[in-house]
């Protein structure tokens, strides 16, 4: 079980970004951890993030939250590569949130560099500074060896945790650590290795805690146990912006083990969502069972609030009316003369697609341990944004953020859900009000009914094609409820920016192109869901490219290659930029097509589909072969994923991420939808929200482009093209075009027509 937050005996030197962006060495020694550091006499801090023991064992700190994307392995690999140690020598420890005082306008700065997991940013943000941390530490060890041998450091080399003299003498890092730790780091950064010198980066490597995971010893947030803490569960208002009309807790307080019942206000109507999401009644008890039984005994009457009439049917109606009109909320891009291009086109193709709300549904429901004391706060949580957890705790308690200790556990699924710390806010509120340490636990039903859902929307696309088959005009009109729902940092005029990206394909590739956004009103809470916007827009665009190809008698692969044109770099202003390289996207598309054997004849009822997309700096393509029988039974016979993320840090981890994204994309496309009725979420648990089962999942063949380009992240790029490749394959097999997700209710029709 996870213990009370303390610094373990392998404390760390931390890397800090100075106000000018340079590196600063600082010792991480919270006042409460002085004795732990004193006991660490057998290990020596060297440089940044690193401790070396006399037996040459190297412990490296992992700064970002581990949510299954593999950064607890890949980021320490960057340090270990430049430190020049054997990976077998390395142990990894999760670092806590690191903040320190700064003279800048914010008053604080990162100790370890940015800490968070979202937007596929961990590897690209760490590529330079973590390698530099390892290189600078290596240079200190080389200088220590040079002083002992009384020679020039430039004459010495390193390999596998040793400094090597030209005459063959060797000194182990464990022998040099104490002397190296006393040296003053040089102001000039140490030189970095060239890619041809890498021995760790680019090597397939198992995740550092694989054994703990498969043997059940890995510690997740929900495993946290602190003696004396009360367990809390909350009955939350099921209506968006609803409130408590009245309640009776007398029966709940009679349940053995129940200690206290507290009410919680929800956010003010229309106010930014910065803390807990809903009004509720919390039961605090000695254990989870007692808390749940106490919650069952509560008698609550809810006041429905302003969104009681909201339904999925109403939202569909809003979208249809908006798309039937001529008004737009935001014209995001308008190139050339679209109206003239469509008027003069030899053929005009139009289609409308529907993408539903979906839930994150992580295997580990939300949970948090919080202990609020005078002048300090301790938090243990599975969070993607520990800095945000610190901010919300500060806002609730007023405690200085330097006295708020945030510990990150391994996260049992994030997918963007844990970018929001509403569950942390709940735990902190309850600890503050009760005066007790609190372990907050959500159930599966809590998690599904109170999520930050992927936005719902209708997409209307139109293409004009000339007599030669060239697409001369393109329109994409999206009616959706913005992801930036009640965000304090987003102005109303900028709500569109989360929904449609002006530089996304096929922008700059078609001379007459227009992107419009139309705002839908909804009380549903919305937020980031794996590969935000791309997860929906890639399905729509890549499905429509297929439609245009078939409508004009063209090969879908050839049309995509024609649209991408010659290899060139285009400006890309959104996340993942500043460039979009058409050649790299063409390459992964061609690889996927070649591996699936495109084009080739297949037997009746079989079909092959393709899709490609640029997501957060990475390039991915899928090719799938499916069969659909007359009963509508779908089988995915082959599934190819080709990916280019620049220099792969851990190819084994990259392969796993592509498999993960592919399965997630297929599962979501086939089965998943959150619906609304009478202002409430209808789906309650997995029987209503059926994830893909192991027996249904295909083997995913991953093909990684070898590259020495600066790496991009990989946690999200494997998802967006899975759904359109699947739907395009279903069309090829049956002649039925899937324009509304999820697919599940449409397969019987597809089978009957195939």
Per-10-residue mean pLDDT of the chain, 754 residues long, equals 37 31 29 32 77 96 96 98 97 95 90 95 97 97 98 97 97 96 94 97 96 94 96 97 97 98 96 96 98 98 96 98 97 98 98 98 98 98 98 98 97 97 98 98 98 98 98 98 95 97 98 98 97 98 98 98 98 97 98 97 95 98 96 96 98 98 98 97 97 95 97 96 98 96 87 66
What one-character DSSP code corresponds to residue 520?
P
What does the pLDDT read at residue 481?
96
Per-residue pLDDT, 740:
97
- Per DSSP, the three-state class of 492 is helix
Peptide bond into 506 cis (omega under 30): yes
CB under 8 Å, gap of 24 or more: what pairs does 325-330 form?
327/518, 328/477, 328/516, 328/517, 328/518, 329/495, 329/496, 329/516, 329/517, 329/518, 329/519, 330/493, 330/496, 330/516, 330/517
Place of tokens 């970095």: 192
Q: Using DSSP bridges, classify how beta strands 58-62 and 90-94 pair: parallel, antiparallel or unpaired.
A: parallel
Q: What are phi and psi of 408, to 5 degrees?
A: -100, 130
What pLDDT, on the 0 to 100 scale, is given for residue 579?
A: 98
| Structural contact between residues 161 and 172, judged by C-beta atoms closer than 8 angstroms | yes
Q: Report which secondary-structure segment, H or E, holds 162.
A: strand 162-164
Q: Give the pTM.
A: 0.93
- The Cα–Cα gap between 583 and 566 comes to 7
- How many residues belong to the chain? 754
CA distance 249 to 232: 15
**pLDDT (0 to 100) of residue 749:** 77
Which phi and psi (to 5°) does residue 430 adopt?
A: -70, -40
Alpha carbons within 13 A on the beta-carbon side of 679: 15
CA distances for 20 relative to 16, 107, 109, 124, 189, angstroms:
11, 14, 11, 20, 15
Contacts of 494 (CB under 8 A, 6+ apart): 484
CA separation for the pair 397, 534 (Å, rounded): 37
CA nearest neighbour of 174 among 59, 72, 66 = 59
Q: What domains lie within the chain, and their CATH numbers?
A: 13-214 (3.30.365.10), 227-306+366-441 (3.30.365.10), 328-358+452-753 (3.30.365.10)
pLDDT at 752: 66
Contact 90, 58 (CB under 8 A): yes
Q: Residue 633: its pLDDT value, please?
A: 93
pLDDT score recorded for residue 140:
97
Nearest to 632 by CA among 728, 700, 546, 733: 733
- For residue 420, give both structure tokens: 């929001």
Nearest to 722 by CA among 586, 646, 609: 609
Cβ pair 401, 379 in contact under 8 A: no
CA dist list (Å): 412 to 165, 220, 360: 47, 7, 12
Q: Please enumerate in sequence order all residues whose Cβ is within 8 A of that of 683, keeping only pairs 6 or more positions apart, or say none.
A: 359, 448, 673, 674, 675, 689
> Is 278 in contact with 261 (CB distance < 8 Å)?
no
For residues 636 and 695, the answer to whether their CB atoms sit within 8 Å is: no
The DSSP bridge pattern shows strands 438-441 and 367-373 to be antiparallel
């Amino acid at each position: 079980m996870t213990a009370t937050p303390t610094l373990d005996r392998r404390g760390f030197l931390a890397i800090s970004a100075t106000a000018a962006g340079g590196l600063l060495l600082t010792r991480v020694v919270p006042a409460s951890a002085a004795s732990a550091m004193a006991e660490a006499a057998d290990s020596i801090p060297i440089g940044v993030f690193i401790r070396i023991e006399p037996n040459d064992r190297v412990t490296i700190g992992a700064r970002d939250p581990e949510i299954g994307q593999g950064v607890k392995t890949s980021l320490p690999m960057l340090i270990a590569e430049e430190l020049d140690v054997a990976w077998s020598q390395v142990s990894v420890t999760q670092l806590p949130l690191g903040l320190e005082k700064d003279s800048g306008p914010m008053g604080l700065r990162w100790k370890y560099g940015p800490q968070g997991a979202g937007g596929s940013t961990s590897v690209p943000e760490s590529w330079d500074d973590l390698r530099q941390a390892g290189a600078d530490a290596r240079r200190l060890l080389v200088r220590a060896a040079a002083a002992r041998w009384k020679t020039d450091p430039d004459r010495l080399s390193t390999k596998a945790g040793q400094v090597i003299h030209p005459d063959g003498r060797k000194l182990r890092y464990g022998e040099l650590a104490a002397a190296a730790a006393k040296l003053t780091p040089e102001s000039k950064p140490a030189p970095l290795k060239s890619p041809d010198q890498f021995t760790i980066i680019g090597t397939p490597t198992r995740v550092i805690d694989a054994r703990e995971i498969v043997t059940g010893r890995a510690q997740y947030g929900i495993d946290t146990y602190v003696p004396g803490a009360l367990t809390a569960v909350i009955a939350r208002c099921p209506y968006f912006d609803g409130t408590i009309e009245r309640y009776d807790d007398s029966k709940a307080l009679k349940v053995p083990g129940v200690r206290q019942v507290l009410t919680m206000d929800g956010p003010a109507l229309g106010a930014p969502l910065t803390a807990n999401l809903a009004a509720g009644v919390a039961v605090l008890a000695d254990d989870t069972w007692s808390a749940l039984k106490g919650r069952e005994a509560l008698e609550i009457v809810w006041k429905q609030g302003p969104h009681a009439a909201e339904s999925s049917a109403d939202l569909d109606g809003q979208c249809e009316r908006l798309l039937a009109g001529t008004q737009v909320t935001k014209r995001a891009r308008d190139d050339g003369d679209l109206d003239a291009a469509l008027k003069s086109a030899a053929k005009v193709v139009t289609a409308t697609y529907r993408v539903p709300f979906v839930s994150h549904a992580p295997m580990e429901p939300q949970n948090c341990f919080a202990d609020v004391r005078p002048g300090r706060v301790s938090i243990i949580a599975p969070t993607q944004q520990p800095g945000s957890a610190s901010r919300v705790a500060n806002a609730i308690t007023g405690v200085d953020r330097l006295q708020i200790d945030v510990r990150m556990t391994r996260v049992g699924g994030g997918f963007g859900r844990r970018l929001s710390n509403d569950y942390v806010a709940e735990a902190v509120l309850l600890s503050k009000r009760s005066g007790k340490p609190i372990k907050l636990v959500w159930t599966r039903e809590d998690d599904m009914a109170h999520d930050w859902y992927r936005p719902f929307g209708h997409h209307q696309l139109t293409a004009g094609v000339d007599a030669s088959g060239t697409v001369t005009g393109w329109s994409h009109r999206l009616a959706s409820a913005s992801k930036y729902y009640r965000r304090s940092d987003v102005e109303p005029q900028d709500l569109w920016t989360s929904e449609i990206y002006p530089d996304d394909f096929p922008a700059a590739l078609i001379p007459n192109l227009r992107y419009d956004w139309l705002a839908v009103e909804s009380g549903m809470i919305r937020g980031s869901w794996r590969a935000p916007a791309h997860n929906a827009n890639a399905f729509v665009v890549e499905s429509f490219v297929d439609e245009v190809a078939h409508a004009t008698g063209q090969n879908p692969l050839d049309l995509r290659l024609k649209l991408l044109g010659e290899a060139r770099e285009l400006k890309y202003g959104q996340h993942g930029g500043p460039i979009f390289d058409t050649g790299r996207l063409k390459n992964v598309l061609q690889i996927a097509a070649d591996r699936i054997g495109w084009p080739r004849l297949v037997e009746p009822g079989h079909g092959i589909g393709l899709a490609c997309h640029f997501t957060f700096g990475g390039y991915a393509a899928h090719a799938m072969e499916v069969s659909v029988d007359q009963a509508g039974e779908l089988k995915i016979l082959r599934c190819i994923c080709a990916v280019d993320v620049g220099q792969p840090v851990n190819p084994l981890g990259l392969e796993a991420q592509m498999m993960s994204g592919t399965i997630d994309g297929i599962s979501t496309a086939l089965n998943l939808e959150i619906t609304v009725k009478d202002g409430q979420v209808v789906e309650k648990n997995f029987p209503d929200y059926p994830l893909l089962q192991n027996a249904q999942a295909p083997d995913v063949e991953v093909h990684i482009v070898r590259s020495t380009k600066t790496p991009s992240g990989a946690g999200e790029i494997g998802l967006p093209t899975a759904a359109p490749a699947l739907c395009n394959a279903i069309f090829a097999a049956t002649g039925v075009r899937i324009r509304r997700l999820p697919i599940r209710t449409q397969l019987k029709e597809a089978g009957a027509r195939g």
